[in-house]
A and B are shown apart, each in its own frame.
Chain A
Amino acid sequence: MLDEGVGNYAASSRFTSAEKIALRYSELMATDPQALDAAFYAELRSHYDEPQIVELGAFIGFNIGYHTFFGTLKFYPMFSPDGALVSQEESERLYGAAPVSLAGGSAD
């Protein structure tokens, strides 16, 4: 579900309309902020109240900033998906090249 939410949320039947627009908010904040116009926020308000929109926006902005920074530091989770403590080299092998969800791989 995590991977589908990242890559295929718009066409997926797993997500509600509210979830899809929150995912679109995140995507557009990073890739096309000009698309976040009054019409977009009006649609967002049909699912979320003002505090929720602020909560989402600040959370997304924070993550856009920090994920890029952390990516440059080349550090990886301390534990494997099954909970074992692993070295950074092993963790990079597990997570680095093609991250998949901790649920055990792709959503298929």
Chain B
Amino acid sequence: MPHVEPLRAEQIRDPELLALMARAEELGVPDALFTRILAHVPGHAKAFLNALLVSHSQGNVDHRLKEIIRIQLARFAGDAYFGALRSRKAMAAGLDEASIDAGCGDYDDDPRYSEAERVALRYADQMYLDPRKVDAAFYDEMKRHYSEAQIMELGGFIALHYGMQVFMRALDARPLGTVDA
């Protein structure tokens, strides 16, 4: 069990939050546990769940790439909850576990990734491993492959998802359906 008891599903009656939960269930990330914990503070639950969904599944950066980055960050954070979840949309678009593992590992030498994808993966792992390396020269390199809007989309996505992974790690949460959930 996570350190904070999730609300029971029937305790969540807010139509807006239920609609967001339906969108999350369709995507597969996050599962209902995240919202049932956040729903102790309904305003937070709606704001964070909506932001997670928008940043992950909308925008102009390939959703499969963002899914690899999301899992890369969860593994780096040591977050068993978000690290175990998978986007159905990304998997349906052809993403597989081998590509996820490669993207979380030695992606620089992996021919399956383009230069643009590698710099995005490096953006995520350097952000929290060594943010001093994400300097003006790094952003110049990013701008060779991405627009300013895409860079903000990636940066905001990385920051929000990493932050929520840190939160779920602190609660020692596991996905619903696993033994410890």
Residues of A participating in the B interface, judged by any CB pair closer than 8 Å: 25, 28-30, 33, 36, 38, 41, 50-51, 53-55, 57-58, 60-66, 68-74
Q: Would you give 16 A-B contacts (Cβ < 8 Å), ordered by A?
A: A25-B170, A30-B166, A33-B170, A54-B37, A57-B167, A58-B167, A61-B163, A62-B164, A63-B163, A64-B163, A66-B160, A68-B131, A69-B127, A69-B159, A70-B159, A72-B155
Interface set, chain B 140-181, CB cutoff 8 A to A: 155-156, 158-167, 169-172
Q: Is B41 within 8 A of A68, CB to CB?
A: no
Q: Is B127 within 8 A of A60, CB to CB?
A: no
Partner of B167, one of A41, A51, A61: A61
A51 neighbours in B (Cβ, 8 Å): 40-41
In the docked arrangement, what's the CA distance between A29 and B161, Å? 15
Given contacts A54-B4, A54-B41, A55-B44, 6 further A-B contacts (CB under 8 A): A38-B3, A41-B4, A53-B40, A57-B171, A61-B167, A65-B160
Q: What secondary structure prevails in chain B residues at the interface with A?
A: helix
In the docked arrangement, what's the CA distance between A54 and B173, Å? 13
A55 neighbours in B (Cβ, 8 Å): 40-41, 44
B171 neighbours in A (Cβ, 8 Å): 57
- Shortest CB-to-CB span from A64 to chain B, Å, is 5
